[in-house]
Amino acid sequence: MRFVPDHDLHIHTLLSPCSRDPRQTPEAILAYGITAGMKLLNLADHCWPYTQDKVLPKPEFIPQGKHCFLLHGAEIDMDMNDNLSASISDIEALDFAVIALNHLHLKNYCVPKDFPEDAETHKKRFQERIHTLLSIDLPFHKTGIAHFSDGLLCSADHIRCLNLFTDAELIDIFTKIRDRGMGVELNLVPSHFKGSDLDSVLRPFYIAKRLGCKFYMGGDAHHPDSFADILSKKMNPLIDLLELDESDKLPFIPETIARLESAK
Ligand SMILES: [Zn+2]
Ligand SMILES: [Zn+2]
């Protein structure tokens, strides 16, 4: 059975500094999920030390649909000294944590101010950060690695940066991700890439799939205007290109939906 796009576990609200859109409320996000036929959504605001000391506390009230549930999560970062932007206990308290290790455009935070621009240095740093993360004792079953192939990885040459990973290095990474039970986020627009560039951004995901990693969708919306394209431009093309089926889905998703349905 084809992978059902029944969730979006990476959505920003107006509280994220890169959103600050008064229309991007939990109510608007829930309406998007219901319209798109989704059952599980996750609020994943950035957790950056210069905007807040720790993850946003769970609001007293989170709107819920009849069959569409809204979780309280965060997008966790890692600083230049390999410290996560939230404590392990804060991460444990979240419903689901999206962990982004390739925000290497954030100078003075994820990398030093004078970090070299070249692809080799960025690839090496990203690789080190992934292995560091995977050595931490986290509740990996309710976490996911955000936008692995994202352009934020290297502003100089993001495609070359990805191409510098050997298959063996990606196998090493995704074997660990699979063994920890961490999800792999589907979050890119395939039509933005042509020819061999598309192969470059998809290669990590093909390897992850072959190894038996489990996937979840992350639309990464910051504004309501982007809701309309998430299924048509990101999720459905990715599901088709990677030929994902329900067995490739992160177990957290059906388990959480079943738990919330039975708790009603
Ligand atoms: Zn991100
Ligand atoms: Zn994000």
* Domain edges within the chain: 7-262
Distance 43 CA to ligand 2 centre (A): 10
H-helix or E-strand spanning residue 69: strand 69-76
Q: How far is the CA of 100 from the centre of ligand 1 (A)?
A: 6
Q: Are the C-beta atoms of residues 119 and 154 closer than 8 Å to each other?
A: yes
Q: pLDDT tens digits for the chain (264 residues)?
A: 999 999 999 999 999 988 999 999 999 999 999 999 999 999 999 988 766 656 777 888 999 999 999 999 999 999 999 999 999 999 999 999 999 999 999 999 999 999 999 999 999 999 999 999 999 999 999 999 999 999 999 999 999 999 999 999 999 999 999 999 999 999 999 999 999 999 999 999 999 999 999 999 999 999 999 999 999 999 999 999 999 999 999 999 999 999 999 998
Cα 262 to averaged position of ligand 2 atoms, centre (Å)? 30
Sign of CA dihedral 57, 60, 63, 68: positive
- Phi, psi at residue 156, to the nearest 5°? -70, -50
* Ligand nearest to the Cα of 150, by number: 1
Ligand nearest to the CA of 103: 1
Distance CA 127, CA 138 (A): 18
Q: Nearest to residue 15, comparing CAs of 46, 36, 39?
A: 46
Helix count (H) and strand count (E) of the chain?
A: 9, 8
What is the 163 CA–ligand 2 centroid distance (Å)? 23
As a whole number of angstroms, the distance between CA 3 and CA 18 comes to 30
Angle made by CA atoms 140, 86, 128, in degrees to the nearest 5: 65
What is the identity of the amino acid at 165? F
245 Cα: distance to centroid of ligand 1 (angstroms): 25
CATH architecture of 7-262: Alpha-Beta Barrel (3.20)
Relative to the alpha carbon of 46, which ligand is closest?
Answer: 2
Residue type present at position 209: K
92-97 — which CB contacts under 8 Å span 24+ positions? 92/139, 93/55, 93/58, 94/55, 94/142, 95/42, 95/71, 95/142, 95/256, 96/9, 96/42, 96/44, 96/71, 96/142, 96/143, 96/144, 96/252, 97/44, 97/73, 97/142, 97/143, 97/144
Residue 46 Cα to ligand 1 middle (Å): 8
Ligand 1 centroid–CA 263 distance in Å is 32
Q: Tell me how far the alpha carbon of residue 4 lies from the centroid of ligand 2, in angstroms.
A: 22
Give the ligand with the smallest distance to the CA of 45: 2
Looking at the CA of 220, name the nearest ligand: 2
